[in-house]
Structure 1
Amino acid sequence: MVFASMFCCVKNSDRKEKGKKQLTWRIFSLKELQSATNNFNYDNKLGEGGFGSVYWGQLWDGSQIAVKRLKVWSNKADMEFAVEVEILARVRHKNLLSLRGYCAEGQERLIVYDYMPNLSLSSHLHGHHSAECLLDWKRRVNIAIGSAEGISYLHHHATPHIIHRDVKASNVLLDSDFQAQVADFGFAKLIPDGATHVTTRVKGTLGYLAPEYAMLGKASESCDVYSFGILLLELATGKKPLEKISSTVKRTITDWALPLACERKFSELADPKLDGKYDEEELKRVILVSLVCAHTQPERRPTMPDVIELLKGESKEKFSELENDEMFKAPQAAAADEISIAESSSDFISEEKDINRELITRSTGNPFIRVVMNDATNCCESIVLRPPKSLCLYRRVYRVPSESVFGICQFSTWEADPDASVMPVC
């Protein structure tokens, strides 16, 4: 069984560590967790996702727990379960959700965590807690720094280093003091020593995916930095990563925020629920850091330790360099041909309702890259556009399962488009 063979590595590692520190997690019986959750009663359900459901529970000693129960057993689900348990067993940090234990009996796969009474950041920004306005500016800054420190630990202090691959608001949980706990390591990847990235199947959440990861499957620490940038911008503005602006069109949060940041209109970016009660310098710092983290070029993004230093305002020199970065200079007027391409294909993420697919168009500077769902071939095609004169130059085809454009992609090689007017070397 996948889980048994994979998790033995953790057990062996734990035996070596046993003399150094006491284990803080254990194996639960199915009967114990059924009793704690009132047999996984619907009234105990905290949330539900593609993986299954999370339930509130109370153990015999009165301690509260959250139990993640896989919906359907399969080899794939068993692998994701094993990965999450292994990684949770490896890491220990105040801003990473702690593993209480797990249960693997028959086809039941359950992970037990400490219960977070303030649920997720997403629930406070967009969910049923949003009307309560419990996230004042000070709490938001603390959540930003705490989340950054948790991710930084994964990237630079865990052995081997870990890429989370699904950093988003619903995966940042909040304890009773609103301290951030980064959660959900089902998609995480261990990075071998010396490796700059791993090429893997694309998993994650639309709106948070770094372009090079979504397009090429190249996962690195920088991909998490990108996702964190989107999360940080979401935290400051109260907007979702993708905003529906009509029945068929969505706009990314960065496409909305970057022009305002270039014009230094930071007050227009602040979450209206803050009612103007924020530190203006801190708001500017958070906005600029978020946008440079979400830079389309991975080499331009900071590392997570740099992010923490910038968010804390510890280096005036580094922040001055960031403030004067060329990405925050007012954009030059574009040529007519460039405007027509950008307006038609690069500013928005469009949703084709009738075929239940996503038509994603995303500006990545020059060249422009479009990602288009071709329903006839059940493929996701990335098209490189080099404005102003050239049209479609190269195309890369992604084999995609029917349920999701950015689900599990198998990549083919680059193809020259026969309709292209110019054929440069890519």
Structure 2
Amino acid sequence: MEGPWPRAMAAWWWWMSLLLLGIAGCGGVLQVHGQVDNLGFISLDCGLPENAAGYVDSTTKLRFTSDAGFINAGTNHNMSSEYITPLMGKSWHNVRSFGGGAGARSCYTLGPLVAGLKHLVRAKFMYGNYDGLNKAPVFDLHVGVNYWTTVNISNANTPEIYEIIAVVPGDSAEVCLVNTGSGTPFISALDLRPLENGLYPMSNSTQGLVLLTRSNFGPTDGVILRYPDDPHDRFWIPQSKPTEWSEISTAKRVHNMEGSSFDVPSAVMQTAVTPINSSSPIQFTWDAEPSANVPDPGYICILHFSELQPLPVNALRQFYVTLNGQLWLGKGLTPQYLYTNAVFNGIPSHGSHQYNVSLNATTNSTVPPILNAIEIFSVLPTTGITTATQDVSAMAAIRGMYKVKKNWMGDPCMPKNFAWKGLGCSYTVSSPPIVTGLNLSSSGLSGNLSSSFAGLKGLQYLDLSRNNLTGSIPDTLSQLSSLTLIDLTDNQLNGSIPPGLVKRTQDGSLTLRYGNNPNLCSSGNYCRPLEKQKNSTDTRSPSVIIMDSPLSQTDIYYGIPMVAVLVILVLSVVILCIKMRRQGRTSNNIKRQNEASITRSHSQNNKGHISLRFDNRRFTYSELVAITNGFQQVIGRGGFGKVYQGLMEDGTQVAVKLRSESSDQGEQEFLAEAQTLAKIHHKNLVSLIGYCKDREYMALVYEYMAQGALDEHLNGKDNNQSILTWRQRLRIALESAQGLEYLHKGCNPPLIHRDVKTSNILLNANLEAKIADFGLLKAFNSNSDTHVSSARVVGTLGYLDPEYQATFQLTNKSDVFSFGVVLLEIITGQRHILKDPEPTSIVQWVRQRLACGSIEGVVDTRMHGDHNVNSVWKIADTALKCTAHNPMQRPTMTDVVAVLQDCLEIEVAHNDVNAGIYLAGSGGDMNGYGRYDIDTSSGVS
């Protein structure tokens, strides 16, 4: 096909097929309303009344239901009768419109789904002058918090269909229509189809694929192929051009081998086209479709081939593929007989107004090129930051329990201009947004107080006044450590105030308002009134429960007699002093025992774990003075103190980490690090040579790492240092990951580092990487533990796991999050917190930059492009998975090590790789090419 391939042509095919075949369904009535069918499909007829029976599509036999159960906004409308034809599919007859008070964003929640899986989402629109205005609107579509596309309805009788393939991170997919001020958003139908994660490998957690066209070449019947011919219900538009192409076909099945990347239906691959003039190429073009949100879209084109004719022995079909004149493959392509193969560009193509793909026969070819099908996608970044997973789940449960309408759709806090009404959100540098305030006053709530409020760990104020809430107040609210105000006035609550809340109000950390609840405090010991003090001049706030209406300035105090309070306080102080003296004696005993245990010999325990004898040398302080030449050369600084370079008697260089008097870290951290390093040994962990515990002086003596810390190389502290190459960075990342993997998997019990960062990754003279600084190390009590609870959050801002910050529950996934930040620093050469111009987490910075669709926007420019883009994309994707908000969605360090090993192999072969173009077979071998083999000029890599 010559010339541009406009969207209008695709729309014409849609419309003709819909009119002729009624593919959206006009079959029998289905009496059962279902959300997800046994295929995992969701098929919604938008605007179908909630009480209307669903129906089965007569062509596909798929079940369609009303969309009412998936959205709580919008109104139903029928299309103008002049646009309805007898053969038109039923789902086009009506729409759901989001005018009036629907708000700027209206979202469908499609689910329940399996979190982390890949899905195809398809939205359909036909205006049909349903509102009588005869003015087609323009509005935006979002998937989750990410921009998807702009819906631009060209006229009243033209259908518009939009499709995206994306990974859904949670247990539901959000599809949102956004009013941009150019007309009222509406929708005709909405489909969701689950896909195996092995399909469309270009779609991952950081990018989705927006369909431009999917074409089936060669059919003569003009039928759009979809389910059941395609088990994934993709639409394959027929394409033919009798003046230029000859159609060929076969009745034999065309096979997809196990592990196919695209799983193209046999019915699609059974037809193809070849040029009528055997010396002419097969050509097609498409125009770029930039928008304000995506000014330079990147495109991926997938070509599907299969030989349909058994060629004579002396015949050869071989051809080149070019994109805008650039050769995709270093040598000719020969399709297999009755097996599906594909070529696609792994790196999205950018920068052109028009794209031209050409299939040209090689000089050795005796028959012309062949083409069975194509798919063209634009790349959509899906890196938008979402609200903390735990808060999303809690808010969804609260919304469901109380049937809250308002604008409670989509993500609760993001994007900021669409945050839910009544919510206060905190937007910090290094962690996802969290809900800090919730105002549901006068919202018509009824029923009990939901336990889901306790899931909002960052909640600071909760206003549920002037509703019709019943039941008792849950004590779980007292566990919200950030909560400072609860307003429950004017409800129908009963029972007594829970002890936990009483304690919080008495210590002054919480204000509780609960006036005008007639049945509250009718019994129990926490509700006895105390006569209000009159003529008091003391204006200090009492540490007792406050009971008033939200606007009242008069407080009624409840508590216990003041004399009793004083007696209790005196007794408490006496008991506390006695307890502290005992703890002090115990603490001293523990310290002496810990110190003595350093030199203790250990044998193999009954679990097979060997605790090695700590026979490292013990230095005196005077020896350290001599080794360091009076602590002359400082080579590092940390929370423990300064690190000095030293030279031992035998000429061995060492690093001496000396605790300073002002250090926040004390003997506990010192002993922890010393004992740990005595017991664990790995090539990617810094080795301990000895220690010093000489009166008040404490020090650790390490092996010397001549090239210093990784952050010095990435951040350019030393102008004389050479810039690390991408291969060096990959190797450093791999070795660091192996060290962490050993702590998580190779130690018994497993260990968590808790302070993984680039300044704690040291490099020796050969640039071999080793993890250092084990003062904050934490061990599981047993291998069966799921987490370790800590009394306080420790680590470095910008590397801290947000889940750990919120719950104080530590897992090895906390290290994985920190290592994801390290990977992003390795890719970008930027610090973990940037000034952009405000302080910004590197995670957020990378996600925003990737929204442009190009990895080059984040890669360290000092590498001057000397890197394989595929390996960089893969590491960036892994880093963002490591920094996922939900720990369950993060990989293990074993997974990370495997990815880094693969990428290092890709980089080693980088000099021989041709343009990053992949040749993908659907399983079997094709001229020696494997499924993901990369063609090179000298052979197959």
TM-score normalised per structure 1? 0.69
Q: 1:236 to 1:146 in 2, by over 3 A?
A: same
Letter in 2 for 1:207: G
1:238 and 2:829 equivalent?
A: yes
Q: What residue is the counterpart of 2:312 in the other structure?
A: none
1:56 and 2:673 equivalent?
A: no
2:874 aligned to which of 282, 285, 300: 285
1:161 and 2:750 equivalent?
A: yes
Query: Alignment RMSD, CA only?
Result: 2.4
2:620 aligned to which of 3, 12, 29: 29
Q: What residue is the counterpart of 1:307 in the other structure?
A: 896
Aligned-partner SS, 1:151: helix
Q: What residue is the counterpart of 2:600 in the other structure?
A: 12
1:171 aligned to which of 753, 757, 760: 760
Deviation of the 1:131 alpha carbon: 5.6
Letter in 1 for 2:619: F
Q: CA separation in 2, counterparts of 1:96 and 1:239?
A: 25
Q: What residue is the counterpart of 2:631 in the other structure?
A: 40
Write the deviation string for residues 277-334 of structure 1: whole angstroms up to 9, x where unpaired: 1111111111111110011111100000011111222899xxxxxxxxxxxxxxxxxx
Q: What residue is the counterpart of 2:238 in the other structure?
A: none
Q: What residue is the counterpart of 1:197 in the other structure?
A: 787
Write the deviation string for residues 129-187 of structure 1: whole angstroms up to 9, x where unpaired: 35633311111000000000000000011122110000000000000110111000011
1:71 and 2:648 equivalent?
A: no
1:136 and 2:725 equivalent?
A: yes
Deviation of the 1:3 alpha carbon: 4.8
Q: CA separation in 1, counterparts of 2:690 and 2:882?
A: 34
Tell which deviates more after alignment, 237-246 or 109-118. 237-246
Letter in 2 for 1:5: Q
1:214 and 2:802 equivalent?
A: no
Contact 1:152 1:305 (8 Å CA) reproduced? yes
Structure 2 unaligned regions, length at least 5: 1-587, 906-941
Q: CA separation in 2, counterparts of 1:254 and 1:29?
A: 45
Write the deviation string for residues 373-407 of structure 1: whole angstroms up to 9, x where unpaired: xxxxxxxxxxxxxxxxxxxxxxxxxxxxxxxxxxx
Q: What residue is the counterpart of 2:543 in the other structure?
A: none
Q: 1:20 to 1:219 in 2, by over 3 A?
A: closer
Q: CA separation in 2, counterparts of 1:104 and 1:15?
A: 24
Deviation of the 1:91 alpha carbon: 0.9
Q: CA separation in 1, counterparts of 2:797 and 2:719?
A: 22
How many residue pairs match? The answer is: 311
Contact 1:202 1:217 (8 Å CA) reproduced? yes
Contact 2:710 2:761 (8 Å CA) reproduced? yes
Q: What residue is the counterpart of 2:108 in the other structure?
A: none
Q: CA separation in 1, counterparts of 2:719 and 2:738?
A: 25
Q: CA separation in 1, counterparts of 2:799 and 2:738?
A: 19
Q: CA separation in 1, counterparts of 2:719 and 2:748?
A: 37
TM-score normalised per structure 2? 0.32
Q: CA separation in 2, counterparts of 1:168 and 1:143?
A: 13
Deviation of the 1:52 alpha carbon: 1.0
Q: 1:263 to 1:13 in 2, by over 3 A?
A: farther
Q: CA separation in 2, counterparts of 1:117 and 1:210?
A: 31
Letter in 1 for 2:842: I
Greater helix share, 1 or 2? Answer: 1
Aligned-partner SS, 1:132: coil
Write the deviation string for residues 202-240 of structure 1: whole angstroms up to 9, x where unpaired: 111100000011222211100000000000110111111
Q: 1:146 to 1:76 in 2, by over 3 A?
A: closer
Q: CA separation in 2, counterparts of 1:133 and 1:305?
A: 31
Contact 1:34 1:40 (8 Å CA) reproduced? yes
1:229 and 2:820 equivalent?
A: yes
Aligned-partner SS, 2:708: coil
Q: What residue is the counterpart of 1:265 in the other structure?
A: 854
Contact 2:871 2:903 (8 Å CA) reproduced? no
Deviation of the 1:256 alpha carbon: 1.5
Q: What residue is the counterpart of 2:511 in the other structure?
A: none
Contact 1:133 1:273 (8 Å CA) reproduced? no
Q: What residue is the counterpart of 1:94 in the other structure?
A: 683
Q: CA separation in 1, counterparts of 2:594 and 2:668?
A: 8
Q: 1:275 to 1:76 in 2, by over 3 A?
A: closer
Deviation of the 1:264 alpha carbon: 3.7
Letter in 2 for 1:233: L
Q: 1:39 to 1:210 in 2, by over 3 A?
A: same
Contact 1:147 1:181 (8 Å CA) reproduced? yes
Larger Rg: 2
Contact 1:73 1:108 (8 Å CA) reproduced? no
Deviation of the 1:93 alpha carbon: 0.4
Q: CA separation in 2, counterparts of 1:170 and 1:280?
A: 26
Percent identity of equivalent pairs: 36
Contact 2:672 2:774 (8 Å CA) reproduced? yes
Aligned-partner SS, 1:66: strand
Q: CA separation in 1, counterparts of 2:903 and 2:859?
A: 23
Q: Which has the higher contact order (CA 8 A, sep 6+)?
A: 1
Structure 1 unaligned regions, length at least 5: 317-426
Contact 1:309 1:315 (8 Å CA) reproduced? no
Q: CA separation in 2, counterparts of 1:13 and 1:219?
A: 30
For residues 327-342 of structure 1, the aligned pairs below 5 Å read none
Tell which deviates more after alignment, 186-195 or 61-70. 186-195
Contact 2:788 2:811 (8 Å CA) reproduced? yes
Tell which deviates more after alignment, 168-177 or 281-290. 281-290
